[in-house]
Amino acid sequence: MIHYTFKKENGYVNEIKVKGHALFGDYGTDIVCASVSTALIMTANAIETLGFKDSIQTKVKSGDFVLKVLRSNATIEGLLQNLIYTLNELEAQYKSHIKNLKEE
C-alpha cells in the first residue's frame, strides 16, 4: 500500500512524503503506482520549470518520495494543493491501495 502524509507550517504545505507500492497490478502495469508517480514527478518538475528549483528539496527513489519546501509562495502552494487533491482523489477510488496518514 502507498502511504502519504503532508505537513503544514503557518498554513502552507512544507513537506509531502509518499512511501510504498500500491500492489494494484504487476510491476510495470500498476496503474495506481503509475498515477501517483506521475502526479509527484509532474508537481516537482512544474515547480522547477517555473523557476523555483531552489525553493524545494526532493528525494526520489523506488517506493519513496519526499518533497520539502524551503521557501514557499503562492505558485508552489497552489501546485502542492493540487497534488494533495490528486492523491486524495486516488485514495477515494483505490482505498485498499493508497492511504493518507493525515499527519498535517
pLDDT, tens only, 69-98: 999 999 999 999 999 999 999 999 999 999
Domains assigned to the chain? 2-100 (3.30.70.1490)
User: What residues contact 4, with CB distance under 8 A and at least 6 apart?
Assistant: 16, 17, 18, 19, 36, 87, 98, 99, 100, 101
Average pLDDT, the chain: 95
As a whole number, mean pLDDT of residues 55-64 equals: 93
Enter the pTM of the model. 0.92
